A = this chain, B = another copy of it.
Amino acid sequence: MENKPRVTLADVAAAAGVSKMTASRALRGAPDVSRENIQRVEQAARKTGYVGNPLALAFSNSKSNLIGVIVPSLNNIVFAEVLSGIAQGIEGSGLQPMFGVTDYDATKELELIKSLLSWNPAGLIVTGLDQSDEARALLTSAAVPIIQIMDTDGDPIGAAIGFSHFDAGREMANALVAKGRRRFGYVGCGLSKDLRAKRRFAGFQMGLRDHGLSLTAQEQTETLSSTEAGRVLTSELLAQEPNLDCIYFSNDDVAAGGVFHCLATGRSCDNELLIAGFNGLEITRSLPFKIATTITPRREIGFAAGKMLVDAKIGADVGANDKVYLATTLSVPFV
């Protein structure tokens, strides 16, 4: 059941009665092959069941069809959807994604970048613009397209595809103030590591200042984002400051916990206490209380990044310092 020797190009060439080079050219659609031989080779390839050896190919021209994807976490549906979008974006291109998870750890990120670059990938997709100096240097001098996703707040190395988290926070603040909110609370998880959440928070506070307002109370924890953490922190926040009319959460997972706290304690959370999250997770469509959220185009970002690498593969230029803005959508319920 094991180890039939692999069919190589030489086998195909022999079966077609041509040289390896002609077979290679024929199968790649390269020029300088007669119509006759193209057919002969293609038939021989089919007959022998030739599949090609991506390792030999990659080794030969020092450029693989692998692409690297680095995400901070896979305990959250958001980055899973990014991966899903990437897979969609490269479908049929022959590119093969590898992935790595940093756990929001800059050291791990650096190691992953080194490791993925050593495969001579056709491109590298990394999350965010906040790499360490050493990582930036590595990426800058790499001879492959670098795409930073999910963020545009900063100086991209190659292309950046995403949106401004600062602006997202600020816009949410504006929208909530426009809805008559005045007494704001904030609940956040892991801001010291999740720098994008931190910038949303900064933007949110800036948005409040724009209207001469400021945060009334807040609760934070350094544990990972979770609905349970959101529930607990909301409970503590409201115990401390019951008169809030709006709470901004670091994301929808945490915000859902806030909603659950209200539901459990019989406190309504629409008009008197508006809950605002971030991401526009599917679950926000079904909650008994509608919450405000910023719908992020995470799948689209992955898709665009994948497509960009496909284009780069066939010769397109991945511009340096190019920002591709994919708009977020503010979703604020009628209150």
Binding site for B on A (CB under 8 A): 1-4, 6, 51-56, 58-59, 62, 64, 66, 73-77, 79-81, 83-84, 87, 96-101, 114-116, 118-120, 140-141, 143, 226-228, 230-231, 256-257, 260, 263-264, 282-283, 285-288
Considering only CB atoms, which chain B residue lies closest to A256 in the complex? B283
Q: A227-B282, A228-B285 are in contact. List 10 more A-B contacts (CB 8 A).
A: A1-B140, A3-B143, A6-B62, A53-B120, A75-B77, A76-B80, A80-B80, A226-B282, A228-B286, A260-B288
Known A-B contacts A51-B118, A84-B74; A260 and B282 likewise in contact (beta carbons under 8 Å): no
Known A-B contacts A74-B80, A81-B75, A140-B1; A55 and B120 likewise in contact (beta carbons under 8 Å): yes
B287 touches A260 (CB 8 A): yes
How far is it, in angstroms, between the C-alpha of A51 and the C-alpha of B4 when the chains are bound? 33
A286 touches B256 (CB 8 A): yes
A231 touches B286 (CB 8 A): yes
Which of A54, A74, A97 gathers the greatest number of chain B CB atoms within 10 Å? A74
How far is it, in angstroms, between the C-alpha of A256 and the C-alpha of B283 when the chains are bound? 9
How far is it, in angstroms, between the C-alpha of A327 and the C-alpha of B53 when the chains are bound? 40
B288 touches A264 (CB 8 A): yes
Determine the chain B residues whose CB is within 8 A of the CB of A286 once the complex forms: 227-228, 230-231, 256-257, 260
Determine the chain B residues whose CB is within 8 A of the CB of A87 once the complex forms: 74, 99-101
Determine the chain B residues whose CB is within 8 A of the CB of A114 once the complex forms: 51
How far is it, in angstroms, between the C-alpha of A264 and the C-alpha of B80 when the chains are bound? 29
Determine the chain B residues whose CB is within 8 A of the CB of A228 once the complex forms: 282, 285-286
CB distance from A158 to the nearest CB of B (A): 11
Which of B56, B80, B83, B256 meets A77, CB within 8 Å?
A: B80
Considering only CB atoms, which chain B residue lies closest to A285 in the complex? B228
Determine the chain B residues whose CB is within 8 A of the CB of A140 once the complex forms: 1
B141 touches A115 (CB 8 A): no
CB distance from A134 to the nearest CB of B (A): 12
Determine the chain B residues whose CB is within 8 A of the CB of A118 once the complex forms: 51-54
Determine the chain B residues whose CB is within 8 A of the CB of A3 once the complex forms: 143
Considering only CB atoms, which chain B residue lies closest to A101 in the complex? B87
How far is it, in angstroms, between the C-alpha of A286 and the C-alpha of B75 when the chains are bound? 17
Determine the chain B residues whose CB is within 8 A of the CB of A260 once the complex forms: 286-288
Determine the chain B residues whose CB is within 8 A of the CB of A84 once the complex forms: 73-75, 101
Determine the chain B residues whose CB is within 8 A of the CB of A55 once the complex forms: 55, 58-59, 62, 64, 119-120
CB distance from A168 to the nearest CB of B (A): 22
B99 touches A119 (CB 8 A): no
How far is it, in angstroms, between the C-alpha of A182 and the C-alpha of B285 when the chains are bound? 32
Determine the chain B residues whose CB is within 8 A of the CB of A4 once the complex forms: 141
A98 touches B100 (CB 8 A): no
